[in-house]
Amino acid sequence: MARFYSIRFRLTATFLTIILAVMLIISLFLYNILERYHMNNLLIHLERTGFLASEFLVGHLRGQIDTIRLSSLAENISRQADARVVFIDDKGLVVGDSVRVGGLLNQTLEHEDVQIALAGEVSSSTTYSTRIEHQVKQIAIPVKEDNNTIIGVIFLSTSLEGVNQTLADIRIFLFLATLLAMAVVGGGSVVLARRFTGPLEELTMAAKKMSEGNLDQHIVFSSEDEIGRLAEQFNIMARRLNYYTKNLKKFAADVAHEVRTPLTTMSLLTKSLKEHDMEPKQQKEFIEDLDNELDRLVALVNDLLELSKLEKNKVEYEKISMNTLLQDMIGENKYRFERAGLNLAGFIPDQSLKVFAVPRQLRQVVSNLLDNALNYTPPGGMVTISLYQDGSEVITKVEDTGSGIPKEDQSFIFERFFRVDRARSREGGGTGLGLAIVSEIIAKHNGRVWVESEEGRGSSFYFALTAVEE
Ligand code: ADP
């Protein structure tokens, strides 16, 4: 049953129906025209012969009529015109017939065409002749004297066998032409349908394999048409899906790994507290360690929540002043930095620089960059926030005089869970997600983020957003 619903079957059936209809219409027209052409030709030929003969006949029908002479005259004309020739006088009596044996000589011809001709009009008709057992075309032409008096009629009849044979040949030819056209169109449409449906079947197979969990699919296609473009889009989709799935699996494994480390430490600490008698001072130290591990877990969960929030698209963008946002954040963090022995300074211009952004997310970006500057800069260091416009972009720079990042690691630091120095990051309460969050927020704002850093001298983190006019 599925075969009848297939594009291949429907395309072929549609093409065949169309070509059959077209060929039928063409055949009908052509056959009609040819039939009329042949019949007319025959009639014109008979008419011409009749008119020529009537000029001869005028003299012969006057006065004494010689039926023997007229019959041999009829016979002569009959031979040349390939038709039976009958001469009739003004009373309807046959006075000459090209058929000698069994002819109509001396009989009255009661024929409608003859009656009409005797009344002065040329008349023709088609009938079946029992004598020759075939259809015949016949014509009756009045013979007139100079004063228009009708003195007789010439009656001509010829067999339609030749014409009918030609028309039968034409019918066979048209039938064969229709069959040939249907064979060509049918074959062509099967080839065409196969060209269309081949890649579609391949696509279906690949999609089926994907639905069964085998995401690593790629279709080889050569055409540039709609199906080629569909296959290309399919390949892109499959690649992306494959990438996301692999990433998701890696992310889940990374999260499990990140959670396992503090949990293992906490488990060890709890067991020690439970199983060993300890001095109150030592107990306190263990509980503080437990607290630190718990803080780390909470920070990790918070960052993970932050990342998942970014996946949601329902956020409100608004026009905000970067000057105000940065001034506020410097004010909020100044004391925290001072406590760590660091100097936090801002270079914010008087000119207001505005961007289109989600304020809460931009605050998160600056906060993460400041946290890192604080964590990786030793006491006595300096952290500065600068704001400036470069062309169509508003650029924020967070610079520190900290440890810096090795060149070979700089391209990885924006990846989830990447840390240059794992132990140090953990010590500072880092989750390895801070810069990944920064990078995703800036990407959602259609901006750019990058780092310039030299090991031992410090780092500068930049993010650029499109400037918005006042
Ligand atoms: P973390 O929570 O570990 O800080 P981030 O994603 O914020 O994770 O940063 C990734 C890594 O990049 C950090 O572990 C650290 O090695 C490095 N890094 C980030 N910021 C700085 C900085 N200001 N100075 C030096 N190293 C940095």
Instruction: Write the DSSP string, 381-448.
Output: -EEEEEEEEETTEEEEEEEE-S----GGGTTTTTSTT--SSHHHHHHTT--S-HHHHHHHHHHHTT-E
Q: Give tens-digit pLDDT for 67-91.
A: 888 999 999 999 998 999 999 998 8
- Angle, vertex CA 336, rays to CA 331 and CA 339, nearest 5: 130
Q: Which of 214, 213, 231 lies closest to 222, judged by CA?
A: 231
Domains of the chain, residue spans: 2-166, 314-468
The tokens for 275 are: 């199983």
Q: Is 419 in the pocket of ligand 1 (CB under 6 A)?
A: yes
Give the list of residues 6+ apart from residue 140 with CB closer than 8 angstroms, or none.
111, 113, 114, 116, 117, 122, 123, 124, 153, 154, 155, 156
For 71-103, b/e burial (b = at least 16 CB within 10 A) is: bebbbebbeebebbbbbbbeebbbbbbbbeeeb
pLDDT at 114: 93
Give the 3-state secondary structure percentages of the chain, helix then strand then coil, rounded to 5. Answer: 55, 20, 25
Q: How far is the CA of 458 from the centre of ligand 1 (A)?
A: 12
Strands 382-390, 343-347: pairing is parallel
Distance CA 436, CA 423 (A): 19
Whole-prediction pTM:
0.59
Rounded Cα gap, residues 445 and 437, in angstroms: 12
Residue 219 has pLDDT above 90, yes or no: no
- What pLDDT digit, counting tens, does each position of 309-321 carry? 887 768 889 999 9
Phi and psi angles of residue 320, each rounded to the nearest 5 degrees, phi first: -130, 155
Binning pLDDT at 50, 70 and 90, where does residue 2 land?
Answer: low
Binding site membership of 373 for ligand 1 (Cβ less than 6 Å): yes
pLDDT digits (tens, 9 = 90+) for 108-153: 988 899 999 999 999 999 999 888 888 999 999 999 988 888 999 9
pLDDT at 378 over 70: yes
Mutate which of 258, 296, 372 for ligand 1 pocket (most atoms within 8 A of beta carbon): 372
Residues 233-257, mean pLDDT to the nearest whole number: 89
Question: pLDDT averaged over the chain?
Answer: 91
Q: For 314-468, which CATH class?
A: alpha beta
Summarize pLDDT for 409-459 with one digit per residue, the tens: 999 999 988 888 877 777 777 889 999 999 999 999 999 999 999 999 999
Other C-beta atoms lying within 10 Å of the C-beta of residue 194: 12
Q: Which residues contact 116 (CB under 8 A, 6 or more apart)?
A: 123, 140
What is the percent of the chain with per-residue pLDDT over 70, rounded to a whole number?
99
Count CB-CB contacts under 10 A for residue 462. 19
Q: Is the CB of 333 under 6 A from ligand 1?
A: no
CA distance 383 to 402: 9
| Mean pLDDT score, 213-228 | 84
Beta-strand ranges (E) seen in 250-381 are 318-321, 343-347, 354-357
b/e code 245-278 from CB counts within 10 Å (16+ = b): eeeeeeeeebbeebeeebeeebeebeeeeeeeee
Number of the ligand 1 atom closest to the C-alpha atom of 400: 23
Q: Is the CB of 425 under 6 A from ligand 1?
A: yes
Tokens found for residue 370: 């400041």
307 confidence band (pLDDT: 50, 70, 90):
confident
For domain 2-166, say whether CATH 3.30.450.20 is its number. yes
Q: Is the CB of 420 under 6 A from ligand 1?
A: yes
